[in-house]
Amino acid sequence: MVVVYATAGDYAAYTAKTAPDGIEASLARASERVDELLIGAVYATDEQEMPTDPKERDAIMRATCAQAAWMIATGDPYGVAAAFKDIAIGSVRLSRASGGEAGPARHAPDAARILHVAGLLPGYAFDTTAW
């Protein structure tokens, strides 16, 4: 079961924009990415697996909104762009990224920073390869 950490209303408040169509699916995928960042984090949860501390809950909600906004902005909701160095739609052309080339990051830098500042990712090393 995927725990979705933010709502369409949360997204609209965070971005100061109307939530786009399909935002629920984007927030579910963003919650999965946030869960990847939270591996090893220690915080109390309730029976729905939501953080019980209001500050931690708020940070995880904002990180989820940041991740969703980033995935929408980059047009890569599944985090697969890193596997290709060149993609074209007309006449379909895909080129796999070679081992030495860094593709785009899978996680939104802002999401990682929000969690880090909240103390949920102590010692977290940021992925700066795409910057």
Q: What's the confidence (pLDDT) of residue 116?
A: 92
Residue from 51, 39, 52 nearest 112 by CA:
39
Average pLDDT over residues 111-116: 94
Number of domains composing the chain: 1
Q: What's the confidence (pLDDT) of residue 10?
A: 98
Euclidean distance between CA atoms 121 and 118, whole angstroms: 8
Q: How confident is the model at residue 53 (pLDDT cuts 50, 70, 90)?
A: very high
Q: What's the confidence (pLDDT) of residue 128?
A: 55
Domain hosting residue 72, numbered range: 8-117
Q: What's the confidence (pLDDT) of residue 3?
A: 95
In a domain, 41, yes or no: yes
Average pLDDT over residues 37-57: 94
pLDDT in tens, 98-113: 555 555 678 899 999 9
Average pLDDT over residues 44-57: 96
In a domain, 75, yes or no: yes
Average pLDDT of every residue of the chain: 84
In a domain, 49, yes or no: yes
